Amino acid sequence: MISTYRLPSTINDYSITYPKDNKTTANLSQKINSSLKIDRLFVCVKEGTKAISILKHFGLYCPDTIITSKTEGTRSQIFFLENMYLAIVWLDNETLQSPTAINFSARVNWRDNRTSPFGIGLSRKQDSSPLEINDYPVEDLAIDNYIAYSKQNQKNAIEPLVFLLPDLLKYSNILDPELPQNQKYFQHSLKVKNITDIKISIQTGKRRDSKIIDWIKQEQLLYTTRASEPLMELTFDRGIRGKIFDARPTLPMIFRY
């Protein structure tokens, strides 16, 4: 029997309708033939401090360091798992117009303007040969600050932004979980290690999924469905304990562990 933990009703008093779906997620714990892997995820929120406190209450650890991006006008904090990381992003200066692919101002206000608050960063697997832009079956890739993204996907803000990271910016090159000095970043009181399943609900609309979303679904890196509101469902360590944590409405996220 699966037990569900919800935040107090004063926080969770928000009605969202999701379709019944027997499929679960993209099972990242299984061997996948793709030459890519999900390297990082981000979620845009209005109230960063509140969102961070909810995840800490849940049992996830993150360093106190707040990362400020002057070019994007954002602040963020990162929760490190062994196979990828989750960043919570909020606006630092709403008047700044972002010159890059991610329109954070629009994605933070997803409740009002039918955008997705999610981002998915992909990188090359360690044992894969170097990938070039021409290796991706998408014709409209562009480069912005070393990160490649699809123009079609970037314009279709109702779906998560997908971006491709060069080896230089790969998570494993930034923070190696095998090194003893980095172990402190993975000391979650919840005792979780990896994100093994990901499912994202995209708001219903007339637009079809962009080609890059279709592609990473075919690569079995992501499973998506349509719903009245966006939602990201993450499973830790194959959901071995059979429990659920619902972080809505502050965070449009459900955690299974």
Regarding predicted confidence, which is higher, 14 or 35?
35
- Distance, C-alpha 202 to centroid of its chain: 13
For 94-118, what is the mean pLDDT? 80
pLDDT for 239 equals 96
Q: Where does the pLDDT of residue 5 fall: very low under 50, low under 70, confident under 90, or very high at 90 and above? A: very low
* Euclidean distance between CA atoms 178 and 102, whole angstroms: 31
pLDDT for 11 equals 35
Pair 254, 236: CB distance under 8 Å? no
* Euclidean distance between CA atoms 154 and 244, whole angstroms: 31
The string of pLDDT tens digits covering residues 165-189 is: 988 889 988 888 888 899 999 999 9
* Euclidean distance between CA atoms 125 and 176, whole angstroms: 14
For 86-106, what is the mean pLDDT? 77
Regarding predicted confidence, which is higher, 6 or 23?
23
Query: For residue 24, is pLDDT > 70?
Result: no
Query: For residue 31, is pLDDT > 80?
Result: no
Q: Which amino acid does the sequence have at 248? A: R
- Residue 257: Cβ within 10 Å count: 21
Residue count of the chain, please give it.
Answer: 257
| pTM recorded for the entire structure | 0.84
The string of pLDDT tens digits covering residues 60-75 is: 999 999 999 887 889 9
For 214-225, what is the mean pLDDT? 90
pLDDT for 144 equals 79
Mean pLDDT rounded to a whole number for the chain: 83
Query: For residue 207, is pLDDT > 80?
Result: no
pLDDT for 130 equals 59
Concatenated DSSP letters for 108-121? HTHHHHT---EEEE
Whole-Å CA distances, 95 to 42, 70, 89: 21, 12, 16
Which range is least confidently modeled, 124-128, 232-236, 246-250?
124-128
pLDDT for 132 equals 59
pLDDT for 2 equals 43
Query: For residue 100, is pLDDT > 80?
Result: no
Q: Are strands 141-144 and 118-124 parallel, antiparallel or unpaired?
A: unpaired
Query: For residue 28, is pLDDT > 70?
Result: no
Report percent pLDDT > 70 for the chain. Answer: 80
pLDDT for 18 equals 34
Query: For residue 150, is pLDDT > 50?
Result: yes
Q: Where does the pLDDT of residue 133 fall: very low under 50, low under 70, confident under 90, or very high at 90 and above? A: low
